[in-house]
Amino acid sequence: MSSYDVIIIGAGPGGYVSAIRCAQLGLKTAIVEGRETLGGTCLNVGCIPSKALLHATHQLHEAEHNFAKMGLKGKSPSVDWNQMKSYKDEVIGQNTGGIEFLMKKNKIDWLKGWASIPAAGQVKVGDETYATKNIVIASGSVPSSLPGVTVDNETGVVVDSTGALSLPKVPKKMVVIGAGVIGLELGSVYARLGSEVTVVEYMDAVCPGMDKDVQRSFKKILEKQGLTFIMGAAVQGVDATKTKAKVKYQPKKGGDEEVIDADVVLVATGRKPFAAGLGLDALGVKLTERGQIATDAHWATNVPGIYAIGDVIEGPMLAHKAEDEGMAVAEVIAGKHGHVNYGVIPGVVYTTPEVANVGATEDALKAEGRKIKVGKFSFMGNGRAKAVGQADGFVKIIADAETDRVLGAAIIGPAAGDMIHEICVAMEFGASAEDIALTCHAHPTYSEAVREAALACGDGAIHA
């Protein structure tokens, strides 16, 4: 029986990053993946393909709506959807191939197939059983649905995010159930491609968990881009044929059940942890009430030698959270000190404009009764944002009223997903808003808006 120091189950961003760090720390490492390619949800049917489509359709939107006013005239591009999907698939291939190269480079064995754990210290893949001192479960998550809604990605009428990344054609009418990150990103893609997109959401605001002013501003911007929202609507079910669907919903405020017709319904109501087939029940591995694998502060399950990380455990279902846990658990297994600061994990929506946030929200801190100050700066006062026609949105920094320590931030605007890291680093170093305000920022950059928001926490922004 081949034996390893660590076998990692699942080659998503949690698993493959963990494998690389384990190998770097001198541990004999194997990774098991049941998919044909490495990279997990993120690279195959998540972060990367959705960003490829967002990028392509953003270019289309720019050409259709913004080129002429900059003096760029001529025929606007027409959409070859099959070519756009090929572009997306090529991007996936480059990325998954890159991970395969990294596995070889780091001498990590890829055990191809679906794994189960017959006993602590053993991993079975196909007919082979491998001995291992440690097991890291990084089996990720899968889309979840609603009662009365049956997803069928093959037919392509009622689809989840995986189906929505590869629709046979661009639908005339799309209904998106759920106004969370995935629904809004993919809804934006199809709205830019010319679909009539209606988003149906149970809550009264988009992107639950964000501050109300960010939610309001974001929704307004998306409405300007042509998305329609039906808020406070409880979806009762979807009736589908092979070509069409009817979405039935009950308005929460009362009244009769309503029905919307669609060519495609995208169910984007969240994701659930995936650990099927591993044999966790027989092993006695404890789960949380929400079906996640329960772990302690060092990602250890209740069964010695078995760890778990990423979407399959508690916490935000984000690739970078999984990666951080992957590195940290490798350090723990190697006898070092792995650490993840869960207070500083950014979240980003990759629409145009992007929306990013980190740390505490203003609404949550106010609800706690914490004394805070809030510095806000609109991109209307930022020269660079105006130069590129993206002055919608703002930067908001939330700091402790007495100590001035930065507690959180939200950005809605161009490159928000990159700019948020300035605040992340500031928070990691325990910086004050004044520290950011005193840091020279190059002109003209979007990041000047971050500095202005920090100045607004003190004596005031300059360009407000």
The beta strands (E) that lie in 86-172 are given as 109-112, 115-119, 122-125, 128-137, 141-143, 158-159
State yes or no: 267 annotated in a binding site: no
State yes or no: 201 annotated in a binding site: yes
Is the Cβ of residue 9 or residue 453 nearer to ligand FAD in the bound state?
9
- Residue 139 near ligand FAD by CB under 6 A: yes
Give the sheet arrangement for strand 264-267, strand by strand: 158-159, 264-267, 173-177, 196-200, 228-230
Is the Cβ of residue 144 or residue 445 nearer to ligand FAD in the bound state?
144
Helix axes 47-65, 81-105, angle to 10 degrees: 140
Q: Can you say whether the dihedral through the CA atoms of 40, 41, 42, 48 is positive or negative?
A: positive
- Residue 354 near ligand FAD by CB under 6 A: no
- Residue 324 near ligand FAD by CB under 6 A: no
Is the Cβ of residue 77 or residue 113 nearer to ligand FAD in the bound state?
113
- Residue 270 near ligand FAD by CB under 6 A: no
Task: List the one residue from 10, 180, 375, 414 that touches ligand FAD (CB under 6 A).
Answer: 10
State yes or no: 354 annotated in a binding site: no
CB burial string 84-115: b at 16+ within 10 A, e below: bbeebeebbeebbeebeebbeeeebbbbeebb
- Residue 12 near ligand FAD by CB under 6 A: yes
Task: List the one residue from 21, 91, 140, 299 that touches ligand FAD (CB under 6 A).
Answer: 140
State yes or no: 319 annotated in a binding site: yes
Is the Cβ of residue 50 or residue 378 nearer to ligand FAD in the bound state?
50
Nearest to 426 by CA among 346, 329, 365: 346
Per-residue HEC secondary structure of 439-451 comes to CCCCCCCCCHHHH
> Which residues is 119 bridged to in the sheet?
122
As a whole number of angstroms, the distance between CA 321 and CA 358 comes to 13
- Residue 138 near ligand FAD by CB under 6 A: yes
Rounded to the nearest whole angstrom, what is the least distance from the CB of residue 242 to ligand FAD in the complex? Answer: 24
- Residue 352 near ligand FAD by CB under 6 A: no
Applying CB under 6 A, which part among 27-35, 224-232, 334-342, 376-384 lies near ligand FAD?
A: 27-35
Q: Which of residues 66-125 bind ligand FAD (CB under 6 A)?
A: 114-115
Binding mask 36-55 for ligand FAD (x = CB under 6 A): ----xxx---xx--x-----
- Residue 13 near ligand FAD by CB under 6 A: yes
As a whole number of angstroms, the distance between CA 464 and CA 456 comes to 9
CB burial string 206-224: b at 16+ within 10 A, e below: bbeebbebbbebbbebbee
- Residue 322 near ligand FAD by CB under 6 A: yes
Is the Cβ of residue 424 or residue 454 nearer to ligand FAD in the bound state?
424
* Cβ atoms of 28 and 4 closer than 8 Å: yes
- Residue 35 near ligand FAD by CB under 6 A: yes
Residue 443 annotated to the active site:
yes
Is the Cβ of residue 65 or residue 112 nearer to ligand FAD in the bound state?
112
* Cβ atoms of 84 and 75 closer than 8 Å: no
* Cβ atoms of 13 and 42 closer than 8 Å: yes
Is the Cβ of residue 210 or residue 318 nearer to ligand FAD in the bound state?
318
* DSSP code, position 130: E
Rounded to the nearest whole angstrom, what is the least distance from the CB of residue 275 to ligand FAD in the complex? Answer: 7
Task: List the one residue from 277, 291, 430, 460 that touches ligand FAD (CB under 6 A).
Answer: 277
Neighbours of 421 (CB within 10 A): 12
Active-site positions read 443
Binding residues for NAD(+): 178-185, 201, 270
Interface residues with ligand FAD (CB under 6 A) are 9-15, 32-35, 40-42, 46-47, 50, 114-115, 138-141, 161, 182, 274, 277-278, 310-311, 317-320, 322, 350
